[in-house]
Structures are given as structure tokens and as C-alpha cells.
Amino acid sequence: MTAIEHVSCRFGDFALDDISLAVGQREYWVLLGPSGSGKSLLLETIAGFHTPDKGRVLVEGRDVTSVAPERRGIGIVFQHAALFPHHTVLANVEYGLRVRGAPRKERERTAEEMIERMGLQGVLSRPVSALSGGEAQRVAIARTLAVKPSLLLLDEPLSMVDHGARLELQAQLKSIVAELGIRTLHVTHSREEAAALGDHFAIILSGRIVQKGTTDELKSRPRCAFVARFLGLENTEAAPPCEEACLRRPGSCKKLD
């Protein structure tokens, strides 16, 4: 099982409050929430850059709550691609295998496969600083998938990509994730992106999950008016009014009205 269980964490102005989420085999979860809701903090906690105050993180049944990020088997793609500017595109893709001491043959084979899958043959010779936002993000995805993580975290990966390239990258991401059958947790504040990619949604607000489930569940039975509005549903009136739980944090729900 790959899951987070009752995770609470406080970091600066952000806090996570008792978050639980289980990502099943071949599931693509989209964590949807407005800016400042703690989505990125949650991803960083799962990836191991923050230690949760409470709760645990499980990767394929293994408790990794106190395991260093490099031994969690979790891949993360950042909003800004975070490519290594002193390496070539190829060296970026090979980086993970290189630091794991993979033999050269395997390294080359995997890198070649990833480059082909992400359609990066054309940019191999370019310096990293000359890549466009979409190209850089494709290299970042290839780099992360090259080490075959058992959970893929995507932190607003498409927000810095311009519109035309975004649709293309979205399709590419969807197909490669489906092909590899990798568990994915994708953070975004864009519901178009969420609708295009996810099969499961979790709506997060002020560090707590308001509702989670399959896309159909959420769309057919939004838990409250906020969820309905955030998903862009037509008949927000049909949804039950916002609950006390959702309203408890001051300003969070009303602000979005």
C-alpha cells in the first residue's frame, strides 16, 4: 500500500491537519486546492523534505516516515523544472542512475528509452538554460521516471508551461504514466488540468482534505458548495451548503465566494 496516514505538519505559515490519502495501483490522484492551501507542503512532506509532526508515510507497505528522501523510492517533479544547469540534457536524465551507481549499459539504455518516450531527441545537444518551459519540464519528467519511482509526485508541473505546449505535455504525461502504470499524485490549482489528467480527486483547503474520491463520485455527489464550485459544476445550488468542518478555518471558505 502506498499512502499517507493522519499526517499533520507545520512549516512556517503552512500547516497540514490530519491528512490521509491512499494511492492505489495505477491510480492518478489530483490534489486540487487554491494557492496557499498547503498542497506543496504535503508533497514535500511525502517526498521527505519535511518530517511530519504526526502520522506516517507508506510506500508499498514500507513505513518511510523517517527514511531519507533518497531512499524512499519517490520521484518528484517541481513547478520550475529544477534541472541541473551545469549538466547537459542527457546527463540530467542519467543523473539518478549515475548517483545510484548503475552500470553504463543500463544507464544508457534507460536514458535512451526515457528520451524517446518524452520526445526529447531534438533537444539533447542544447544547453539546459536554452530549453523552453515545456521542454525543461519534459526533461524533468524523464529524469524522474528514469529511476522508476514507485510513487510520482508532480508539484504544479504545468503551471510554468505556455498554453499550447501545456496541452501537448498533458497528453504526453497522461500516456506515459498510464503506460508505466505508476502511482501518481499531482498537485494543481487548475481544474482543467485536474479534469484532463486525474481519475481520483482530493480537494484540499487550508491544510485539510475536504473531499476525496474518484472523479465521478466527486462530480455526482460534491460534499458541499465549495467543492462543487471548485470543480466548476453547473448546479452548485444542488450541493449541500458548506459544513462547519470546511468553514472552521477562518476566511478559507468565504474568501472563495
Partner 1 sequence: MTPSPTHTAPFWNWWRSLAAAALLAALHISLAYLPDAPFTPPMNLVLYFTNLYVLYCAAVVLPGRSATTLAMFLAGYAGLFALVLLALGKKPLFILLIVAYSSLFGSPVLIGFFVIFVVCFILLQPYGFESFVPLALIYALLWNVRRRASWFARVCLGGGLVALTAVLFPLIHLATRDSVQTLWHTFQREDVQDAVGQSLLSSTSATLVVALFGVPLAYALARIDFPGKRWVESLVDVPILVPQSVAGVAFMVLLGPGSPLGQGLAPLGIRVSGTTLGIVLAQVFVAFPFLVKTAMTAFEGIPRSLERASRSLGASPAVTFFRVALPLASRGILVGLTLAWARAISEFGCIVLFASSPVTAPILVHTEFLRAGATESRPIATLLLIICLWIFVMLQFGQTLLPFAMQKTRRETGA
Tell me the closest approach of the beta carbon of residue 95 to partner 1, in angstroms.
Answer: 6
The DSSP annotation for 78-124 comes to: -SS----TTSBHHHHHHHHHHHTT--HHHHHHHHHHHHHHTT-GGGT
Between 115 and 136, CB nearer to partner 1: 136
Report 116-145 residues binding partner 1 (CB under 8 A): 128-129, 131, 136, 140, 143-144
CB 89 within 8 A of CB 146: no
- Cβ neighbours of residue 93 closer than 8 Å, sequence gap 6 or more: 111, 114, 115, 120, 139, 142, 143, 146
Tell me the closest approach of the beta carbon of residue 225 to partner 1, in angstroms.
Answer: 35
Decide: is 216 part of the binding site for partner 1 (CB under 8 A): no
Decide: is 51 part of the binding site for partner 1 (CB under 8 A): no
| Residues touching partner 1, count (CB under 8 A) | 35
Between 127 and 240, CB nearer to partner 1: 127
Residue 186 CA: distances (Å) to CA of 104, 196, 251: 32, 12, 26
* Separation CA 214–CA 201 (nearest Å): 6
CB 60 within 8 A of CB 67: no
The Cα angle at residue 172 between residues 170 and 176, in degrees rounded to 5? 120
Q: Which of 13, 35, 61, 85 binds partner 1 (CB under 8 A)?
A: 85
Decide: is 165 part of the binding site for partner 1 (CB under 8 A): no
**Amino acid sitting at position 56:** R
Stretches 19-27, 62-70, 109-117, 185-193: which one binds partner 1 (CB under 8 A)? 62-70
Decide: is 76 part of the binding site for partner 1 (CB under 8 A): yes
Residue given cell 504535503 in the structure block? 42
Decide: is 75 part of the binding site for partner 1 (CB under 8 A): yes
Applying CB under 8 A, the residues found at the interface with partner 1 are 44, 47-49, 68-72, 74-76, 78-86, 95-96, 99-100, 128-129, 131, 136, 140, 143-144, 147, 149, 160
